[in-house]
Structure 1
């Protein structure tokens, strides 16, 4: 059993920390910490999935920004978006396992919390892009409209910052 977090106690913050201790005491979390090879293997799966996700998103965003204009945006989306969605089948379960193994520490880590917020904002940005400017993508000439390009720039910046936060977790 993990020691109680000093901030744990009555109130919403204490309840959240109690939940993280419960999660860290589950069988999958215990296995992640007990087996010398399991945590690194799950981390590799997480990084591989994230590389596919961010790689597909980045290639699409770069096309929206004007690179590779010979390839229609919708055609590129037809090939890349299934890869980004499919990569979530690797990223989500592996990320949950990694979190469970270190739940109390990660829940109290500002960099981890920032990473989660940035992922949510990146998701909202993607939804806004697809609900907005992307609906008229077949009418774009060789250049996407300014709003579409803004979404692409935001997407690239958000995902690069998510990567930086993920990497910084090893140091903070």
Structure 2
């Protein structure tokens, strides 16, 4: 393994056989259990418009969650480096996926909307700039081929 190379593994198990396998488009559920050793399972499915279970996480949810969480974690590190004390962080992220009309599609845009509270008013400007550094550091944002934008609001307590 190369220096700085990290490997990840999971097991995706389809649990949607309704008795006849994939004998027809409407004859199976899109349910999946995602497992990583030592972690709770994630119950997943397709998004509801694609015949999935709306109560389960879908791949689109998970991609948006990965981008949001990666920015959050990168941001916290950027703030520590900039001597900014974050006391609260909440992101209301949104994403746009566009179907191509040929049974495919792609995400075309993600907007992160972090709402950050810092310990002191003097930290606000550095906290605002830390979002740029977080974006640069985020492994997930650096791995996708669509824009990941952020519109942050930073206040102090």
Greater RCO (CA < 8 Å, at least 6 residues apart): 1
Greater strand share, structure number: 2
Using structure 2 for the length normalisation, give the TM-score.
Answer: 0.27
Greater helix share, structure number: 1
Using structure 1 for the length normalisation, give the TM-score.
Answer: 0.26
